[in-house]
Amino acid sequence: MKKAKELGFATRAIHSGQEPDPLTGSVTVPIYPTSTYVQQGIGENKGYEYSRVSNPTRTRLEQNLAALEGGIAARAFASGMAAINAIVSMLKAGDHVVCGNDLYGGTPRLFNQVMSNFGLEFSYVDTSEAGNVESAIQKNTRMVYVETPTNPLMGISDLAAIAAICHRKKLSLVVDNTFMSPYFQQPLALGADLVVHSTTKFLNGHSDGLGGVVVCKHQEDADKLAFLQKAAGAILSPFEGWLILRGVKTLAARMEIHDRSGRLVADFLSKHKKVKAVLYPGLKDHPQHALAKRQMSGFGAMITFETGSLKNANKMLKKVRVCSLGESLGGVETLISHPATMTHSALGVKGRKAIGITDGLVRISVGIEDVDDILEDLDQALNAI
Ligand SMILES: Cc1ncc(COP(=O)(O)O)c(C=O)c1O
């Protein structure tokens, strides 16, 4: 077999860290539901001592996700938020982070309502203009935290340009790659230092478990995060880890369908008389369409559109039948949500207004059902407005 680095993406997804079990030949990674491990003598063990520190199922998942993102190591946590919490826990009181201003709502909630109580400072800028990142850097800045595409406004940030600024200023660049998955976007190859995912979304892909992962480019970060797994304990359970290992085997196949249907749904919405605007990087009128084409190998399944008002949004969301109204994204089922009252409610009216999240915005995560059924469902729901 070729070295892991030379293998194609789908092959790595199925085989990296997912080698047959050496004991039995089982083609699937066993779930190790154990808290502790019998030791052979003082300081003598088989590499595992206690499951908060490490667990063989989690180890295999971490190997797999590191291989998919092209990192040297990965660290798995109980949720995407636990992973993000671990990243900022590597900092010290008085440190400053420059962040995108249109992140998943839970991220600024953690930064502003929890981490700021411990002396960390955060600034928020529109990272789709790399110059804004440079202007926001202070003497105490240690990290730049970016999501691209942004959530829910689908803005694209130039990762190579931001990475160049970060490296000149000796700052870590962290990229939340949840929306694209490593199948369509490889931030480490573009210069990022850390990649974070809510594995709850496309990596798991089946809406049946929460999880988070940080993939590292540098051993020093991997060591710090392993220490945080042990010290703070917000680790992923073996069963949830196994669900992700199972889900990730079909990531390449699922992403192809998500992307193909995403393009068709975006095109349909952009022509629909009840839709006022569509935000999707694959549309030619998206302000960063050219950058998206260069930086990503697909446009994905996430689309945001404007219905005009809260009343209109509610009318259509009550009518959907194939699409399911709910938070989250990245599952096989089409999920549709209302950012102002769901994912981004914590920003408050002022916070949402500042970045342009209106009450009429609806976000859709296009699933892998028959696309004609999704289109028909959206059409009848929109016509209720
Ligand atoms: C882009 C993004 N990052 C992080 C998170 C947080 O992940 P989790 O819900 O697994 O804690 C989410 C959740 O929706 C998300 O959409």
Taking only the tens place, the pLDDT of each residue in 120-149 is: 999 999 999 999 999 999 999 999 999 999
pLDDT at 385: 95
Q: Is 372 considered catalytic here? A: no
Convert the pLDDT of each residue in 303-354 to its tens digit.
999 999 999 999 999 999 999 999 999 999 999 999 999 989 988 999 999 9
Tens of pLDDT, residue by residue over 207-237, are 999 999 999 999 999 999 999 999 999 999 9
81 CB under 6 A from ligand 1? Answer: yes
CA atoms within 13 A on the CB side of 119: 7
Strand, coil or helix: 250: coil
| Whether residue 106 has its Cβ less than 6 Å from ligand 1 | yes
| Bridge partner residues of 306 (DSSP) | 277, 361
Ligand 1 centre and the CA of 47: distance in Å?
Answer: 32
- Ligand 1 pocket check for 177: Cβ under 6 Å: no
Q: Output the CA 208–ligand 1 centroid distance in Å.
A: 14
Residue nearest to atom 10 of ligand 1 (CA): 80
In this model, does residue 4 exceed pLDDT 90? Answer: no
- Round to whole Å and give the CA distance between 93 and 27: 46
Tokens describing residue 177:
């790659």
Tell me which of 200, 202, 215, 237 to substitute to probe ligand 1's pocket, judged by most ligand atoms within 8 Å of the beta carbon.
200
Tell me if 80 CB under 6 Å of ligand 1: yes
pLDDT at 34: 98
Across 74-98, b (16+ Cβ under 10 Å) vs e yields bbbbbbbbbbbbbbbbbbeeebbbb
- Nearest-CA residue for atom 8 of ligand 1: 80
The answer, yes or no, to whether any atom of ligand 1 lies below 6 A from the CB of 204, is no
**Ligand 1 centroid to residue 81 C-alpha, Å:** 6
Mean local confidence (pLDDT), 101-116: 96
Q: How far apart are CA 287 and CA 277, in angstroms?
A: 13
| Catalytic residue check, 221 | no
Give the Å distances, CA to CA, from 155 to 22, 128, 174, 201, 350: 46, 6, 17, 19, 20
What string of DSSP letters covers 85-140?
A: HHHHTTS-TT-EEEEESS--THHHHHHHHTGGGGT-EEEEE-TTSHHHHHHH--TT
Runs of H (alpha helix) within the chain: 9-15, 56-69, 80-88, 106-113, 130-136, 159-168, 181-184, 219-232, 238-248, 251-271, 289-295, 310-319, 348-355, 371-382
- Cβ of 198 less than 6 Å from ligand 1: yes
Nearest CA to ligand 1 atom 15: 104
Q: How far is the CA of 310 from the centre of ligand 1 (A)?
A: 24
For residue 26, the CA-to-ligand 1 centroid distance in Å is 32
Whether ligand 1 lies within 6 angstroms of the CB of 200 is answered as yes
Residue owning the nearest CA to atom 7 of ligand 1 = 80
pLDDT, mean over the chain: 97
pLDDT at 5 over 80: no
Distance 38 CA to ligand 1 centre (A): 36
Residue 369: DSSP 8-state:
S
Is 168 catalytic? The answer is no
> Active site residue: 12, 201, 249, 352, which one?
201
Q: Given this model, what pLDDT does residue 294 score? A: 97
CB of residue 202 inside a 6 A radius of ligand 1: no
What pLDDT is recorded for position 208? 97
Instruction: Quickly count: other Cβ atoms within 10 Å of residue 373's Cβ.
Output: 13
pLDDT band at residue 3 under the 50/70/90 scheme: low
Query: Given 158, 176, 193, 221, which residue is catalytic?
Result: 176
Query: 213 CB less than 6 Å from ligand 1?
Result: no
